[in-house]
Chain A
Amino acid sequence: MIALPEPKAAVLARRDAILSDLARLVGPGGLIADRHCLRVYESDGLAAYRQPPLAVVLPETTEEVAAVLRFCHEGGIRVVPRGAGTSLSGGALPLADAVVVGLMRMNRILAIDYADRVATVQAGVTNIGITGAVAEQGFFYAPDPSSQLACMIGGNIAMNSGGAHCLKYGVTANNVLGLTIVTIEGEIIKLGGAHLDAAGYDWLGILIGSEGQLAVTTEVTVRILRAPEGTRAMLAAFRSNEVAGACVAAIIGSGIIPVALEFMDRPAIHACEAFAHAGYPLDAEAMLIIEVEGSPAEQDGLLARLGEIVGRFDPISLRIAATAEESAAIWKGRKGAFGAIGRISPDYLCMDGVIPTSELPAVLQRIGEMSRQYGLGVANIFHAGDGNLHPLILFDANDPESMAKAEKFGAEILMHCVAVGGCLTGEHGVGVEKRDLMPAQFSAADLDQQRRVKSAFDPDWLLNPSKVFPLNPEPPVIRAA
């Protein structure tokens, strides 16, 4: 298990006074202090870690967030920002002496402008809620993490969320034009706006993906895009991971950038098929779902080109959807993957490494060896176009030994991703989960530079502490000229 810092005794001792001050700042309806109610907030999507916080506040305005942060800063109280709590890396895990600032009541869409193709929303609006608000006019918000029904745009900002379609449309950082943030000192800052290329240093660039380490986001201006005329998928099954990997390289090399390019290995195919009955080829070692977009004629043209490329790799089967319904059938198994794995194993860890795509066959072989060594099953789902690998490690959380082995297995996979030229996390974030692995990817100097940036925003390290950076050494001190 990953170590969390000792709570500050002085803060715990002042709990009653802190609660009454917070109630004054956000109103009694905006404060959760009852110990039973606090249990709701003790964990996030990384459910193995649990810790009820000192208190939860649910502010309704940016000004209330500022008041809470100013108060916590003055009192040396730690703050854990939280959206929907869907983080898979423990990004919203509370600490015993921390105030959780939950943004779920800030859930209003503030402005939609189709002529300028932007929408401004509060941080507690769900990812799908943005697309839902603009879909009637044929628009959408591009990043689409699997948790998009629940996860909130504020959390997407913190984690720089991706999704299955980011090969073409980019991740959160590529789709945000403006932010309203609150610093730990309680200052409200508006950055960027509805225009491209915000002024000065790239504040948006450093804030997006900063995992709540630098500031709390309360409002977001995103680009909205007009949806293509239509999309259609094909499914190709192969005799080996090597052949499927070579096919991915040939597709990208051909000049076609599919809107999605998803890879599943044999265990993933079997689990999904048993769950969803999508007609997946059970005799295949690997399978690709490839999606294209455009007019029906453009889709036909692209699918024909792709079919020709796939044909060169001796596919076991090739299924090209003729209609939107047939596309949906192809996606059905993949979209139910997490539920499917949940059905064959009491628990699973969803890893999130990234590798150079050319390394895929060798990495999958290595993961297979580790799986035998640890005696734990693993199914691999892979955003093949961008190298983002999601091994799902099957284990039993009620068995401490199984849990310890699963964590060790996961860490070993991630270390291997780094060793072959990849990285620890492609879209889930470091959180607490991968915090202690950071020195595998970064030198002491690299990490020190990141820590200094943290200190520039949050000199006392009160924001979302114990995440992202290993607990030692002591935070660096920045003295501005």
Chain B
Amino acid sequence: MMEPEAPADDAGIAAAIAAAAARGEPLSIMGNASKAPMLRPVQAARTLSTRNLSGVTLYSPAELVLAARAGTPLSVLEETLAGHGQHLIAEPPDLDALLGTAASATLGGAVAANLSGPRRVAWGAMRDHVLGMRAVNGEGTAIRSGGRVLKNVTGLDLCKLIAGSHGTLAVMTEITLKVLPASESTGTVAVLGVDAASGVAALAAALGSPYAVSGAAYLPAEAAASVSALAGLASGPGIALARIEDFTSSVTYRCERLAAKLGRFGSIRQIEDGTSRPLWQAIRDVMPLADRPEAAIWRVSVRPSAGPALAAVAAALGARWFLDWGGGLVWIAAVPNAATHRTISEAASAAGGTWMLLRAPDTLRTAVPVLPPLSPVLDRLTRRLKAAFDPMGILNPGRMYAGI
């Protein structure tokens, strides 16, 4: 691959895209390429990177607003926010360990992939907190959507559409986010020795409680054993974990109440702040699956109560797996072949959910769909929408769907 073109300003991005559109030549779009192993590989002779669009352009802590150029590393944003006791609400993961990359994930990439961590179950996805953006469409035209205020219903919300479109509709150059105060303390209530069905039932009880649970995961014993923060706690089939983030006095009170509520599901341990933080970071970053470099990784989202059935399908394949989002997010690491893919994707679709083949060897990810195939009507709408932004089809073609 040629060295990517990496302009230092929006005008440079627009010029590069306009030139590619004039030639009808596809472009592979990236920040620092931390997500290159995700989804389908893009067939393009040229690469356009936003990595030189870097830096925070607006930060107003008292207004809960932060704007940064798309190539700004997430780590820089996290540091900036921590300096004022705030954080990124959706807790986007660092997938370097999982994807075998050593790249510094950028804001643009996190928004383009709409990747969220455990807090998503309570506080929304990455796309939920995008207030505004500047972007360049597939004709090289700079466009703006949204703004810098927390509430805005003026016109069509192109921000949400472009977020999660994996660089196939427009190239984001600057993104404005809602941010929130980071909690003073984090506590975890663990239910030990439960199978997936009772674990997810315990998580449903936790999420259905008035205690504002902000993380709800189930780790089978094998996955739990790989998380050092859980050392000594793995017993029986697995462990259910419910997180509370708030002022210290509230965390203490709510963890007590939650422990009492969940006692009927299994034996209870409370995990204090110092251990809770690395524990949830490990879950966020999918660390329980990171030591399987030979495996393919599926990310399945179903209604939470369907999680245990998906887990059983994974277990029958000999896969490593665990559940987040109250049971609804099923992470699976299994043998990278088409038969395994068919089993997992069909089970996810049959449960009414969705799936993504997040990581796989090129031979597999070019041979099978990496996202649920589109119905004929949605295929038509997807192509029309793509054409509305990128009529020449030059931005990340084939990244999500073959031929789009």
Contacts and interface: CB of A to CB of B under 8 A. Distances in A.
Going nearest first, the 8 A-B pairs with the smallest beta carbon separation are: A205-B160, A255-B181, A426-B151, A199-B354, A249-B62, A194-B303, A386-B150, A452-B388
B128 A174 contact: yes
Interface residues of B, number: 87
Interface in B174-218: 180-182, 184, 201, 204, 207-210, 212
B315 interface: no
B15 to A, nearest CB: 15
Nearest to A214: B156
Size category of the A interface is 35 or more
Nearest to A417: B149
Given A197-B114, A202-B163, A423-B154, 18 more contacts: A118-B303, A195-B352, A197-B120, A199-B356, A205-B127, A205-B164, A214-B156, A226-B208, A301-B249, A356-B65, A421-B147, A421-B148, A423-B147, A426-B152, A454-B156, A456-B387, A456-B388, A479-B391
A298 B354 contact: no
A374 interface: no
A421 B149 contact: yes
Interface of A: 113-118, 138-139, 159-160, 162, 166-167, 170-171, 173-174, 183, 187, 189, 193-202, 204-206, 208-210, 213-214, 226-229, 249-250, 252-257, 294-295, 297-298, 301, 354-358, 383, 385-388, 421-430, 434, 438, 441-443, 445-447, 449-450, 452-457, 468, 478-481
B303 A468 contact: no
B373 to A, nearest CB: 10
Contacts of B127: 202, 205
A147 B386 CA distance: 37
B151 A166 contact: yes
Contacts of B145: 446, 449-450
Contact of B329 (A117, A196, A257, A357): A196
B348 to A, nearest CB: 9
A200 B149 contact: no
B152 A478 contact: no
Interface in B355-404: 355-356, 371-372, 374-375, 377-378, 380-389, 391, 393, 400
A206 B114 CA distance: 15
Given A117-B208, A422-B149, A426-B153, A253 B120 contact: no
B141 A445 contact: yes
A253 B163 CA distance: 28
Nearest to B157: A209
A201 B301 contact: no
Nearest to B168: A201
Contacts of A116: 204, 303-305, 328
B385 A201 contact: yes
B356 to A, nearest CB: 8
Contacts of B353: 193, 195
Contacts of A301: 247, 249-250
B180 A257 contact: yes
A198 B208 CA distance: 22
Given A115-B305, A357-B63, A454-B156, A226 B209 contact: yes
Contacts of A443: 143-144
B161 interface: yes
A446 B144 contact: yes
Residue among A115, A194, A209, A227 with the highest chain B CB neighbour number at 10 A? A115
Contacts of B153: 159-160, 162, 171, 209, 425-430
B302 interface: yes
